[in-house]
Amino acid sequence: MNLSERDHRFIWHPYTQMQTAALPVAIVRGEGALLFDEQGTGYIDAISSWWVNLHGHAHPYIAQKVSEQLRTLEHVMFAGFTHPGAVDLAERLLAILPPNQAKIFFSDNGSTAVEVALKMAVQYWFNQGIGKTTVIAFHNAYHGDTFGAMSASGRGAFTAPFRDFLFYVVHIDAPLKGREQESLDQLERAIKRADVAAFIFEPLVQGAGGMVMYDAPILDTLIQLCRSHGILTIADEVMTGFGRTGTYFASDRLIHKPDLICLSKGITGGTMPLGVTSCTQTIYDAFLSPDRRKTFFHGHSYTANPLACAAAVASLDLLQHQDCQANIKRIEEHHRKFILRLNDHPLVKNPRVLGTIAAFDVESKEQTSYFNSLRDSMYEYCIQHKVLIRPLGNVVYLMPPYCITDVELHKVYSTIYSMLDSLRGQTENVVLK
Ligand SMILES: *Cc1c(COP(=O)(O)O)cnc(C)c1O
């Protein structure tokens, strides 16, 4: 039995229909933007392994820093104790986060970073004896898979089985181009109707919802409206953080900075799980009291794991280096040329770029959705051509590690062009413009 068959006997994979999915590709080694299977075949990781990898696989500098940490201190509980990695990382993050951010709270992944932000926002009001509990979020949002994160996410197939268990959230339309006023009107109405505790959003790009992009000025307006009504704002930067959108954080493009920021995915350069929720001094202060019931009662066994912190500090060293910043710009420039060429393609709708993220929709008779059946043939085509993409239904996107070479990037682009040509053959599902 090979590795994939042994896997299939005992393992249940995430977001995978185990009855119909192909056997998983077994990866035994990674280097730069490449992942290698047992036969030594290299696949270009054009989506950074679910958006986590920044500097390439098995990066020697991160590996060295993590292994040094592993020989020094692998873990210590984080209540009543601290360690150099956590302190260094908090200082380093606050130096690049928006200036209103003052405190760092650690957890383990993106969903928990969101849970923490929601709980902080709700308890912020509770601790002051103010009965504000409603959360506002965007339709089509994705904030993670735990119950609180699912509640804030747009309601759809992922959340349907749990509908009765999700807390009440007012969903408004995201402010897409030409629809900004509707979104603003809906926010105004929601604020009038309910005692709103917080507004949570993915800044500038709704990731899992289909790489849906919108502009900073309208988000600024929405944040400003919330602030003028004393509503806390939460930027879920789990996907957009650490250079993905061209700046360190998507919030860097905002005038009105969010009160809470959720980080994960790229934080360790894709090495290991870590979540961070940062907040303002005002939020932190609302939990200070001689009354111990005002404590923030939240924590995970592996909070601020020293290995994860070491990986994160090493990843920041690399990210802040001018070479990495130049790479981010280089990728965006190449993406822009690629997207410009795609503009004329009869199967391509709404090509778009923000920083290192490029995306487009493929024309289809079915609606644009995660379940669009074009997904499987596009995924399979690219895997056969040794390029790892993972379309969100008929939405194709690229989000490569920053170290991807020009040669690799052009191999990805040419594979996408030839994939589109191959789709023209199967016109039963494709609408020609
Ligand atoms: C991936 C993602 C999450 C969830 O992070 P996990 O680490 O997968 O739990 C939350 N919010 C956004 C915007 C994400 O893209």
pLDDT of residue 365: 86
What domains does the chain contain, in order, with CATH numbers?
A: 3-58+322-423 (3.90.1150.10), 63-319 (3.40.640.10)
Cβ(128)–Cβ(291) under 8 Å? Answer: no
Question: How many angstroms separate the Cα of 362 from the Cα of each of 367, 375, 385?
Answer: 10, 10, 19
- Quick one: pLDDT at residue 371? 85
Task: Give pLDDT tens digits for 207-248.
Answer: 999 999 999 999 999 999 999 999 999 999 999 999 999 999
Packing angle of the helix pair 306-320, 322-342 (nearest 10 deg): 70
Percent of the chain with pLDDT strictly greater than 90:
94
Q: What's the whole-number mean pLDDT along residues 341-354?
A: 95
Q: Ligand 1: which residues within 6 Å by Cβ?
A: 109-111, 114, 142-144, 202, 207-208, 236, 238-239, 264
**What is the average per-residue pLDDT within 140-151?**
98
> CA-CA distance, 393 to 125, in Å (whole number)?
39
Task: Confirm whether pTM is higher than 0.85.
Answer: yes
Confidence check: pLDDT of 428 > 80: no
Enumerate the active-site residues.
15, 142, 236, 265
303: confidence class by pLDDT, cuts 50, 70, 90 = very high
Query: What is d(CA 346, CA 348) in angstroms, rounded to the nearest whole number?
Result: 6
Alpha-carbon distance of 123 to 210, in angstroms, equals 32
Q: What mean pLDDT do residues 125-135 have? A: 97
Average pLDDT over residues 169-191: 98
Q: Tell me which residue has tokens 């790479």.
A: 327
Which residue type sits at 192? K
As a whole-number percent, the residues of the chain with pLDDT over 70 amount to 98
- How many angstroms is it from 148 CA to the middle of ligand 1? 12
- Tell me which residue has its CA closest to atom 6 in ligand 1: 110
**Three-state DSSP state, 29:** strand
Strand segments (E) across 275-356: 275-279, 348-354
**370 — pLDDT class (breaks 50, 70, 90):** confident
Q: How far is the CA of 238 from the centre of ligand 1 (A)?
A: 5
* CB-neighbour burial class of residue 274 (10 A; exposed 0-12, middle 13-18, buried 19+): buried
Answer whether residue 429 shows pLDDT above 90.
Answer: no
pLDDT reading at 53 higher than 80: yes
| Pocket probe mutation, ligand 1, options 143, 357, 399, max atoms within 8 Å of Cβ | 143
> Is 430's pLDDT higher than 80?
no
Decide: 170 and 136 in contact? Cβ < 8 Å.
Answer: yes
Q: In whole numbers, what is the pLDDT of the chain averaged over residues? A: 96
